[in-house]
A = this chain, B = another copy of it.
């Protein structure tokens, strides 16, 4: 019989569908990818084509120009110019689409797979994330910042050159507000941070742990919403990614490289998304929230049931997914 598990952090119920369950290796369905050259003349992110992007915001220099480069998104979801205006008209709530939308170009090589980047390069990227995260919050119009990556067409990317994105929105997403509220209730009830308690519990049980480093715990959550859904939790309590220390940056890079390699080798380079879920820098001392990274390989498809209920059906057992990833290269 299947089992429903509640993810207390995201407040989502997940049907762990044992009767439909596949073995972890059955999710290894190589995505057909066209052969990609290391350089593409038409790619705005390839070295030599820098003029094709709007003005560079920051770079980490390298022998041949740069290693990581951040530029405004040319087709931005929100606009860097303009004032924030709110209209509350009857039951209509509208805010002008101002904010920050940046692209973090992760490597000069057009055909590089992020999982194969050097540890040093991933460290550069993670460091740049912190810089841009803090910078975005300096914009008084920005209420919330999301850093995310779409890898592969199935994960919604349109440009193949490896990149991640940052969006600073002029409002706080209601989903984030709801989760903060649930975390606050938990703290009021128990005097503890739900995320800290969850990480402690995962560590004790061990069965869903994928990687443990000095500062981070990488695991498949108890109520993982899909096969190989993975979280990277900092061991030190902190509500904001803006607060990440240098030693933690190194260690996060190690954890991220670890899990991306395992996905790449274990599941034959699947499409995936990852996102950093974090509170504002100024709220980094908040007792009841804890930042983390969520990685979602796109090996299954949300359909009508998920859209209609906010629940998920997971056909991979979290414990088996974790075991498979632990053993993967």
Contact = CB atoms under 8 A, between A and B. Distances in A.
A91 B313 contact: no
Given A1-B82, A4-B94, A95-B3, A77 B305 contact: yes
A90 B186 CA distance: 12
Interface string A285-309: 0000000001010000111110111
Contacts of A175: 12, 309-311
Contact of A3 (B4, B75, B94): B94
Instruction: Indicate the member of A8, A95, A176, A304 with the most B CB atoms within 10 Å.
Output: A304
A11 interface: yes
A17 B73 CA distance: 13
A233 B35 CA distance: 48
Interface string A149-174: 11000111100000001010111011
A201 interface: yes
Contacts of A282: none
Contact of A304 (B11, B149, B197): B149
Which 3 residue pairs across A and B have the least CB separation, nearest first? A175-B310, A156-B303, A2-B97
